[in-house]
Chains A and B, each alone.
Chain A
Amino acid sequence: MKAFHILYGAAGVLLAAATVLTGDYGLSKTDMEIYDRAVGLENDMSENGFLDFSPSDYKIRFFNGDCDYVVADGEVTKEDAAFDTFVGTAYEIDGAYQVILPTYENFSELFSMLDSAQRISDGELQFGEADYSEDAHAATLWHEAFHAWQLTNWADEVTARGEAADISEEGGYEQIVVNEVDSDPEYVLSFSQEMELLQKAYESDDAEEKCRLIREALALSAEMEQGMSAQAAYAARYFETLEGSARYVEAQAYRLLAGEAAWSETYMGEFTYSNGAGKYYAMGMLKCLLLDQLAPDWKDDFTALADLDEFLQAAVEGR
């Protein structure tokens, strides 16, 4: 019996040791690869990129649910979690803006779960396959790093403008859109029309036709703005500029990583009206793509305070 106990104890020790040894400690290989792939795009992205913007300028914190693995200057360090998050964000830590991203494993699981939940709400037993790829996560890194760049350079100005528009909290922008804009059927119609016009403009090979469509869209945009409150108008601009441009950067990174077909399927099929801020992400990205076609140097003048409509107006003037 004693021999049995000794053997049983030894088996337990071996099992525990094997479990510990096979554990994945530190930043996972997948997340490190995602980081390397993202940062590896810098040369290609900088050719048509924003001045002085490189994701590697910012610390990237991968949050695994317990702590942050911080990647900077080629090194990985473990730190206490800045805060619990299940989405990516840029946040000021120790006086500098850093990117916080959930690990790929956590984020892709959340993505699947939310996708399934949304589909199930349609009344059918539906599952969302995990089509949130590693490339998508690398692109998200670019998105959040772009926000870090925006905030590093213009955080105070953006905040001041928000306060001037009497919108003090981040969540306030979304709330204004939902309360005021989404419940207005005329706005919904006009916005959808503007989006359609700009999409046609993007797809058109005829320069004249392209400009005509853009002018029509800009006129519609101006008309809509007049019908909105100053707060709502500012919220729309805020999302289009900050989020739309970040979405554009994300899409460009994804295009390089996953290819034209995947990029088109993922980003170019989302130009429909949706409640909340999401529609402005798509609209802003579309405007950035149009600017690429009409005024490739537009990024040199871009700031977080820019008005993309003004940029487009300048691009089509004189054509």
Chain B
Amino acid sequence: MWVITKNALRERIRRKEFFIVVAVGILILLLCSSGTATITMNGEPITGFDHMIVVMHTIVAAVGCLLAAVLGIRTIPNEYERKDSHLIWVRGISQPVYHGGLTLANMLSAMLATGILYLALAVYVAANGRVDYLVRMLPAFLIVCIAVAAASLFTSVLSIVLPTALVGVLGILFALGGILHGILSLYKNIAGGVAGTLLKGLLFVLPDMNGIQQQARRLMAQEGVDMHLILTGLLAVYVLSLGILVFRRREA
């Protein structure tokens, strides 16, 4: 499986979308940290580190999750369209190993892109002299990777069996839903009735990607971390990974 992953990873990081989204993300980070964006909190322009880091970390995680969803859409379908799958199947490589390797490549490339954004964040942290934050950025990044992995897994797993256009829509909705989990949860309480019930069901299956990234930021800030949220994210990743074992193609 690692052989497949390595090859797929080399192909992933050559793709245009990868670099475009990373460039956009870095641009946003630069804008936020340069003070040119008129972002204010409670009426005061954000210049303070403690406010900016909240905003920037949220952006990094959101871009990472969306990128993960986008990168995962076409990887497996492309293999079958180009008939690369033929030379894999004939070698007796099982579908879970094949799809698993490709999915792992998707996840790693999404984490790599998020890692690049995190590096940009680290530069901002270092420029503000916050060594206390820097020291904890690696474990925080690993926590963010849980959310990124969930978004990547979702689209990768669905792409095994569903048409690409549908996977794209569902994948992006999944990532957006995870990012906006808190707002949706709030709306669930307001909505009530059928809408509220539907939202309740949706929120049960959607991993709270925003909550997970908040725990990462809290770890950096040495605030209390909610382990339950992190474990829920890991459980979501685990459940999604079972899709690789369950979903199979009938033909190469």
Contact = CB atoms under 8 A, between A and B. Distances in A.
User: Quick check: do A and B touch in the complex, using CB within 8 A?
Assistant: yes
Interface of A: 11-12, 15-16, 18-19, 22-24, 63, 65-66, 83-86, 102, 106, 109-110, 113, 119, 124-129, 131
13 contacts: A15-B234, A16-B235, A23-B228, A65-B185, A65-B189, A83-B192, A109-B186, A110-B189, A124-B38, A125-B37, A127-B41, A127-B55, A129-B42
B40 A127 contact: yes
Nearest to A5: B245
Given A15-B234, A106-B189, A109-B185, 5 more contacts: A19-B232, A65-B188, A84-B189, A109-B182, A125-B39
B235 A15 contact: yes
A127 B190 contact: no
B89 interface: no
A309 to B, nearest CB: 35
Contacts of A129: 41-42, 51
A66 B231 contact: no
Interface string B175-194: 00000001101101111100
- Chain B, interface size: which category? 20 to 34
A280 B238 CA distance: 54
B227 interface: yes
A128 B41 CA distance: 6
Nearest to A66: B200
Contacts of B192: 83-84
Contact of B231 (A18, A86, A106, A113): A18
A131 B43 CA distance: 13
Given A16-B235, A65-B189, A106-B189, A124 B228 contact: no
A149 B101 CA distance: 65
Contacts of A125: 37-40
Contacts of A24: 228
Contacts of B234: 15, 19
A126 B40 contact: yes
A19 B231 contact: yes
B238 A15 contact: yes
A196 to B, nearest CB: 24
Contact of B186 (A110, A124, A131): A110
Contact of B43 (A16, A65, A126): A126
A22 B39 contact: no
B196 interface: yes
A15 B227 CA distance: 12
Contacts of A106: 185-186, 189
Contact of A131 (B42, B55, B200, B228): B42
